[in-house]
Amino acid sequence: MKILSINFLSCAIKACKSSSDSFPLHAKDAELVQDEIELNPDMIINVLPRLDWAALRTTSSELGFPQLPEQPPTPFELKADETLLKDLHHLLLETQISEGKLVCGNCGHEYAIKEGIANFLLPSHLV
């Protein structure tokens, strides 16, 4: 699963949805794989307005990627900043988590990732 997914996922437990701590899920023991994908600035520019920037900064630093600026760039700034474009492209689109866990900051539940597929099915006592 691509790192970008983490910006759209949250804890599957209903009671956690309303807590700001259930997003983003925290990546733990993550094994990363890289695909080489041709840089497409339009893709990054069109994804930018959909991102929760603060959550992305958290994910990025948890996975050991270079620190992102505190404020999201404007599309105009991004177009002019090739380093940031490349960093975002690499982080969001080229990197996949193949093994590891996603952990909810509210309830502590751990969702396992195997072969790049995260398992959000809950044991019956949590449904």
Residues within the interface to another protein (CB under 8 A): 1-2, 4-5, 8-10, 12, 17, 23, 42-43, 46-50, 93, 96, 114-122, 127
Helices (H), 41-113: 41-47, 53-62, 75-80, 82-88
Minimum distance of another protein from residue 58's CB (angstroms): 14
**CA distances from residue 122 to 28, 43, 67, 82 in whole angstroms, order as listed:** 19, 34, 33, 42
C-beta closer to another protein: residue 54 or 117: 117
C-beta closer to another protein: residue 5 or 53: 5
DSSP for residue 36: -
What backbone phi and psi angles, to 5 degrees, belong to 51? -90, 145
Minimum distance of another protein from residue 111's CB (angstroms): 8
C-beta closer to another protein: residue 43 or 78: 43
Torsion, Cα of 85, 100, 9, 13 (10° steps)? -160
C-beta closer to another protein: residue 46 or 67: 46
Minimum distance of another protein from residue 64's CB (angstroms): 20
